[in-house]
Amino acid sequence: MNLVAQLNNIYSKATQKDYSIVSDISGLANKIINGLDNDADMLIGLVHLRTDLNNYALTRTIQNTIFAVLTAKRLNWEGGRIHTLACACLTQNIGMFPLQNDLAEKEKSELTEFHYQQIRLHPIKGAKMLASMGVKDQKWLSAVAL
């Protein structure tokens, strides 16, 4: 199960005209939720022990999703709420992808005003992108926008 490659495939479609992201992200969210239900330790290890992954932004997104879902499960959130959380986590930084990989390699002193502007604007940009790709779930959009 290469979650990073699957997310990369979804993000690469995001620039296509009339692409609806909902079913692809929902399916990946379900895969992560079910993977955590079946063997959480294996899934946690998978995203932390792989050294051949060179996409910081997407690897970090998968890691954040796994830990957010685990936390929600520990808090006894209901299934629909966990699913919305997973979808929001998987798309949290879509508004600044692929810039995020570039930023991960820069020192703070190397960041320009353009970089800071993109960082500040990416939540709203991401929510608008998702809405244009068919996301109607207001909780999902709100979580990304915040």
pLDDT in tens, 31-41: 999 999 999 98
8 within domain boundaries: no
Q: Which two tokens stand for residue 137?
A: 């779930």
Q: How close are the terminal C-alpha atoms of the chain, in Å?
A: 30
Mean pLDDT of 105-119: 82
2 within domain boundaries: no
Rounded (10°) CA dihedral 135, 44, 48, 72: 50
7 within domain boundaries: no
What is the pLDDT, as a whole number, of residue 51? Answer: 54
Query: What is the value of pTM for the model shown?
Result: 0.88
Residue type, 131: A
Q: Which two tokens stand for residue 88?
A: 């929001």
Q: Using the predicted structure, report yes or no on whether residue 141 has a pLDDT greater than 90.
A: yes
Q: Using the predicted structure, report yes or no on whether residue 48 has a pLDDT greater than 80.
A: no
9 within domain boundaries: no
For residues 56-82, b (16+ Cβ closer than 10 Å) or e, as one string? ebbbbbbbebbebbeebeeeeeeeeeb
Structural domain for 138, as ranges: 20-145
If pLDDT is split at 50, 70 and 90, which confidence band does 50 have? low
129 within domain boundaries: yes
89 within domain boundaries: yes
What is the pLDDT, as a whole number, of residue 82? Answer: 98
Are 65 and 143 spatial neighbours (Cβ–Cβ below 8 Å)?
A: no
Which residues, including other chains, have CB under 8 Å from residue 103's CB and lie 6 or more apart? 96, 111, 115, 119
In whole angstroms, how far apart are CA 37 and each of 20, 69, 70? 27, 10, 9
15 within domain boundaries: no
Q: How many independent structural domains does the chain possess?
A: 1
Higher pLDDT, 87 or 43: 87
6 within domain boundaries: no
